[in-house]
Structure 1
Amino acid sequence: MTRTAAIIGGGVIGGGWAARFLLNGWNVRVFDPDPQAERKIGEVLENARRALPMLYDVAMPEEGALIFCPSIAEAVTGATWVQESVTERLDLKHRVFAEIQSADPAALIGSSTSGFKPSQLQEGAIDPARIMVTHPFNPVYLLPLIELVPSAVTDAGAVETCKDILRSVGLYPLHIRKEIDAHIADRLMEAVWREGLWLVNDDIATTEEIDNAIRYAFGLRWGQMGLFETFRIAGGEAGMRHFIAQFGPALAWPWTKLMDVPEMTDALIDKIASQSDAQSGHLSIRELERKRDGNLIAMMRALKQQGHAAGRLILEHQSALRPAPEMACPMVSARRVIPLDWTDNNGHMNEGRYGQLFSDASETVMAAVGADDAYIAGGKSFFTVENTIRFLEETHAGEKIEVHSRVTQAEGKKLRCLHEMRRVADGAVLATSDQFMLHVDLATRRSCVPPEDVATRMAALAAAHAAPETEG
């Protein structure tokens, strides 16, 4: 059954929330009195439709329905989840919560607030137990962290339901069990921001030089290991204790101005703004967003290949999105969007990636005959010994494709497949693969006859594919 999310406030963050739910198959109702809300959310959604599916090696669910509602009551009534993303004004949030709970007392409400504590949000609420902080990071449709902050009166069951909802759309709920102003991540970012302001104020560095210091060094380390794990490595074999013993005394040195903030005079504001304009003012906000999204996709896909950090979350969500193989003829063995990092300097898909795509398709066929991950872990598999690939048309980043596979030979050790890569938009055949595989014992690395159950499934699949239907 399709679930419904209600988004109250359709700015950059609200639009990101809407995109995250929509692209994971949820219906979304939006309330925002801004007459430009549909345009703004439409632009965020356009970026999200291009970006989010590129993280995965399987197709995402069919997109849900997006509905703009004339009132909060119409948006929230009967919704599975309500996400408040209005302006950071406590009085406004209180009025919004009152209207939500008057319309639907059972509503589960998360607030995107970056600064207010849940106990502040709950003041005067009809039912404070169903209100909590769910603070995201921009772009919400790509970055997985959600700071989930309940108060002492938030219902524990509501918190667990919230976690399940967030995980189901590929997000990572970081349960902060003790509320604090600005939660966790913003407090860390604020510390770096303060230091950056002083470095600009004192003419030590420009905005671009500070950004370069981050993106060419510790920003990369933090992106895959965070703060403490990074410093643990810096301690060498003796670990964190040695690191603290060696570098702990530096904490007493006057390296930081964290407890002080430069006065935001007109001169400092002009300096920061002019340096920022010189750094990236030649790009529009939409161009910067697309550059940011492309960089994030490439980095997160690299982490996915390593099964680490944000990449591990994508793998887990991808596993939940992957459908069980069907025995249809032809079998849809792969369905996905072509990511940016699969293209070359000619602007189309690199020929090596076709081999990867057809390899992924063959794994679906293997799973259908019983040679799944557990089977391979048990010591048996299929190895490709010959593969003829024909390239028929260009394939570009962002295109939705399917691979249709037929088993053309299944006897003894031999398993042969014909794969067709098709563009979903028009059904055009973009490439084909004639792949010949042998069943192998992984201990000896030699071919061998598969066990009876696998052999039986191979024969059944070959029989089902013996008289394929004509595809249009």
Structure 2
Amino acid sequence: MTKINKAACIGGGVIGGGWIARFLLAGIDVDVYDPHPEAKRIVGEVLANAGKAYAMLTGAPLPPHGKLTFRDTLEAAVEGADWIQESVPERLDLKRNVLTQIDAAAKPDALIGSSTSGLLPTDLQRDMRHPERLFVAHPYNPVYLLPLVEIVGGEKTSAATIQAAMERLPPIGMKGVHIAKEIEAFVGDRLLEALWREALWLIKDDICTVETLDDVIRYSFGLRWAQMGLFQTYRIAGGEAGMRHFLAQFGPALQWNWTKLMDVVDLDDALVEKIGQQSDEQADGLSIRELERIRDENLVGILQSLKGSHGGKGWGAGKLLKDFEQQLWAAGGGEKQGLDVTKPLRLIDTKVSPAWVDYNGHMTEHRYLQVFGDTSDALLRLIGVDLDYVERGHSYYTVETHIRHLGEAKLGQAIHSTCQIIGSDEKRLHVFHALHDSASGDVIATAEQMLLHVDAKAGRAVAAPEEVLAKLRPIAAAHAALAMPDGAGRHVGQKR
């Protein structure tokens, strides 16, 4: 898979900072140029929020963070970069000037993306010496969580550039969609603009407040759109007859005078103040950074839920996250450098995600099993039972589990799990896991599990191959010298 080795970000505001975070968290070094005097502070705050969000988003082993370097000149920032992302303010003259400077300083095979939300790439590439490598890469805020990027080429953009840009996004957990023809505002912002225009009229005409309007979206079709989009949602609305029935039934409504989409509201001072006051009341004293963190927690919960849907295969953005995590596990979930086998193996480090908690803010019971299952999976990867091994038709199946709840894991709490092998032979693997509070080291829960090596196609237990046993034996031998962990062999209801 084609990857970005080094990135450069020109502009470090809301969108530029999000790109910086996305690259760094994918293990990519990033050079930044932004003449704003507060650029380092602003980027630092975005990175802090992004780090918290990623800690909740995935338990997969993220690569070491890329190196962040602020440069004094644009030319120094783009030197040696494979992907250069321009995110300066939305003014054609400014963007065109900056992109022309990037083009003159970048290495010949560098990709140059613009974060513009509506300017045409043909206009942006007008003065470039190598316009074939310029494209629009329009993301959505927050860039480090929302995975979509609209890829739009101009008249002089090469097909090879578009293909290269699309190929480099999945390794950083993003999905590129190629917009076939360049139009102002592309696709996403055109849809948002139509909704935004109608929303402004509803506020101006006192039909509802900004909070009521937001509630209508987030409690209804916003949830549908998050996982299925517009057309597939309406296909379902058509019932068994599908989309054609929906269009026949509701198509005539398009002729009704319901909306004011072509009648632009006058954003005079009174309306601006009205919207601003209602928005202040809706925020209820929460700062922008606090709202960002709440947004991130909500998005993480939605993404995590979608990852587990469709029978565990994932759905929409959740499937994209699942595929991204498989890449991370493949890259960082095998041999662990410096792992001490003379004590229980520390295999999983994570935080309690918003999607994992109940109404009390405590981790729900099935999430404990999930973490312990992830711990078993990490051990199996350590001995060579990885995704490729499973796809070849063999694996270890968990046949028995006993969990003890000794404490409570709470929202945002850093936790880690350890694994001790307490018995093994050619077919069986007997393990004991402990879940710890990472700050105090206290044990929150334990799980004792028995796993059988199976031939999935035959549906029966078989001996593990020597390649697996050879990796298992040294760990099992080292753990045989350890004391039996407290709680091993207990049965449900046994007195302490």
> Residue deviations 1:20-50, cap 9 Å, x none?
1111111111111111111111111110000
Structure 1 residue 271 corresponds to structure 2 residue 271: no
Is 150-159 or 417-426 further displaced after alignment?
417-426
Is 327-336 or 108-117 further displaced after alignment?
327-336
Coordinate RMSD, CA, aligned: 2.9
Amino acid at match of 2:376: S
Alignment of 1:406-421 (within 5 A): 406-411=420-425, 413-421=427-435
How far the C-alpha of 1:173 sits from its partner, in A, is: 0.7
Q: Residues 458 and 410 (structure 1 numbering): CA distance in 2 closer, same or farther, change over 3 Å? A: farther
* Contact 2:422–2:430 (8 Å) recurs in 1: yes
Q: Residues 86 and 422 (structure 1 numbering): CA distance in 2 closer, same or farther, change over 3 Å? A: same
- The answer for the alignment partner of 2:494 in structure 1 is none
**1:462 aligned to which of 467, 470, 473:** 473
* Contact 2:416–2:436 (8 Å) recurs in 1: yes
Q: Residues 425 and 380 (structure 1 numbering): CA distance in 2 closer, same or farther, change over 3 Å? A: closer
Alignment of 1:433-472 (within 5 A): 433-438=447-452, 449-451=461-463, 453=465, 457-458=468-469, 461-468=472-479
Amino acid at match of 2:299: L
Mapped to 2, the partners of 1:462 and 1:7 lie a distance apart of: 48
Secondary structure, in 3 states, of the residue corresponding to 1:243?
A: helix
* Contact 2:423–2:431 (8 Å) recurs in 1: yes
Secondary structure, in 3 states, of the residue corresponding to 1:28?
A: strand
Amino acid at match of 2:168: I
Q: Residues 125 and 424 (structure 1 numbering): CA distance in 2 closer, same or farther, change over 3 Å? A: farther
Secondary structure, in 3 states, of the residue corresponding to 1:382?
A: strand
Secondary structure, in 3 states, of the residue corresponding to 2:308?
A: helix
Mapped to 1, the partners of 2:452 and 2:421 lie a distance apart of: 13
Mapped to 2, the partners of 1:25 and 1:294 lie a distance apart of: 22
Secondary structure, in 3 states, of the residue corresponding to 2:478?
A: coil
Q: Residues 59 and 399 (structure 1 numbering): CA distance in 2 closer, same or farther, change over 3 Å? A: farther
Alignment of 1:40-439 (within 5 A): 40-106=42-108, 107-306=110-309, 307-322=314-329, 323-326=332-335, 329=341, 333-344=347-358, 347-366=361-380, 368=383, 370=385, 375=390, 378=393, 381-389=396-404, 391=406, 395-398=409-412, 401-411=415-425, 413-421=427-435, 431-438=445-452
* Contact 1:409–1:462 (8 Å) recurs in 2: no
How far the C-alpha of 1:427 sits from its partner, in A, is: 7.0
Mapped to 2, the partners of 1:359 and 1:260 lie a distance apart of: 56
Alignment: residue pair count: 467
* Contact 1:411–1:459 (8 Å) recurs in 2: no
Structure 2: segments with no counterpart, 5+ residues: 483-496
> Residue deviations 1:121-173, cap 9 Å, x none?
11111211111100111111110111110123112222222122222110111
Secondary structure, in 3 states, of the residue corresponding to 1:141?
A: coil
Q: Residues 403 and 458 (structure 1 numbering): CA distance in 2 closer, same or farther, change over 3 Å? A: farther
Amino acid at match of 1:317: F
Amino acid at match of 1:40: I
* Contact 2:395–2:456 (8 Å) recurs in 1: yes
Mapped to 2, the partners of 1:337 and 1:452 lie a distance apart of: 33
Mapped to 1, the partners of 2:189 and 2:385 lie a distance apart of: 48
Q: Residues 370 and 271 (structure 1 numbering): CA distance in 2 closer, same or farther, change over 3 Å? A: closer
Q: Residues 389 and 441 (structure 1 numbering): CA distance in 2 closer, same or farther, change over 3 Å? A: farther
> Residue deviations 1:165-197, cap 9 Å, x none?
222110111111110000000000000111111
Question: Scaled by the length of structure 1, what TM-score is found?
Answer: 0.90
Q: Residues 67 and 422 (structure 1 numbering): CA distance in 2 closer, same or farther, change over 3 Å? A: farther
Q: Residues 459 and 429 (structure 1 numbering): CA distance in 2 closer, same or farther, change over 3 Å? A: farther
Is 163-172 or 375-384 further displaced after alignment?
375-384
Mapped to 2, the partners of 1:61 and 1:371 lie a distance apart of: 18
Q: Residues 96 and 435 (structure 1 numbering): CA distance in 2 closer, same or farther, change over 3 Å? A: same
How far the C-alpha of 1:375 sits from its partner, in A, is: 4.3
Amino acid at match of 2:43: I
Calculate percent identity across the aligned residue pairs: 46
Mapped to 1, the partners of 2:315 and 2:302 lie a distance apart of: 11
> Residue deviations 1:287-324, cap 9 Å, x none?
11111111111111111111111101101111100035
Secondary structure, in 3 states, of the residue corresponding to 1:204?
A: coil
Q: Residues 51 and 165 (structure 1 numbering): CA distance in 2 closer, same or farther, change over 3 Å? A: same
Amino acid at match of 2:291: L
Q: Residues 369 and 48 (structure 1 numbering): CA distance in 2 closer, same or farther, change over 3 Å? A: closer
* Contact 2:430–2:451 (8 Å) recurs in 1: yes
Mapped to 2, the partners of 1:370 and 1:279 lie a distance apart of: 51
Mapped to 2, the partners of 1:115 and 1:91 lie a distance apart of: 14
Is 197-206 or 410-419 further displaced after alignment?
410-419
Mapped to 2, the partners of 1:126 and 1:164 lie a distance apart of: 24
- The answer for the alignment partner of 1:34 in structure 2 is 36
Mapped to 2, the partners of 1:397 and 1:59 lie a distance apart of: 20
Structure 1 residue 19 corresponds to structure 2 residue 59: no
Is 85-94 or 160-169 further displaced after alignment?
160-169
* Contact 2:426–2:469 (8 Å) recurs in 1: no
Q: Residues 105 and 190 (structure 1 numbering): CA distance in 2 closer, same or farther, change over 3 Å? A: same
Q: Residues 417 and 153 (structure 1 numbering): CA distance in 2 closer, same or farther, change over 3 Å? A: same
Amino acid at match of 2:334: P
> Residue deviations 1:200-221, cap 9 Å, x none?
1111111111111111111111
Q: Residues 348 and 151 (structure 1 numbering): CA distance in 2 closer, same or farther, change over 3 Å? A: same
Secondary structure, in 3 states, of the residue corresponding to 1:465?
A: helix
Amino acid at match of 1:261: V
Secondary structure, in 3 states, of the residue corresponding to 1:466?
A: helix
* Contact 1:416–1:437 (8 Å) recurs in 2: yes
Q: Residues 372 and 84 (structure 1 numbering): CA distance in 2 closer, same or farther, change over 3 Å? A: closer
- The answer for the alignment partner of 2:488 in structure 1 is none
Mapped to 1, the partners of 2:456 and 2:123 lie a distance apart of: 60
Secondary structure, in 3 states, of the residue corresponding to 2:290?
A: helix
Q: Residues 416 and 18 (structure 1 numbering): CA distance in 2 closer, same or farther, change over 3 Å? A: same
Q: Residues 144 and 219 (structure 1 numbering): CA distance in 2 closer, same or farther, change over 3 Å? A: same
Mapped to 2, the partners of 1:40 and 1:161 lie a distance apart of: 30
Amino acid at match of 1:387: H
Q: Residues 371 and 149 (structure 1 numbering): CA distance in 2 closer, same or farther, change over 3 Å? A: closer
Amino acid at match of 1:450: V
Q: Residues 370 and 67 (structure 1 numbering): CA distance in 2 closer, same or farther, change over 3 Å? A: closer
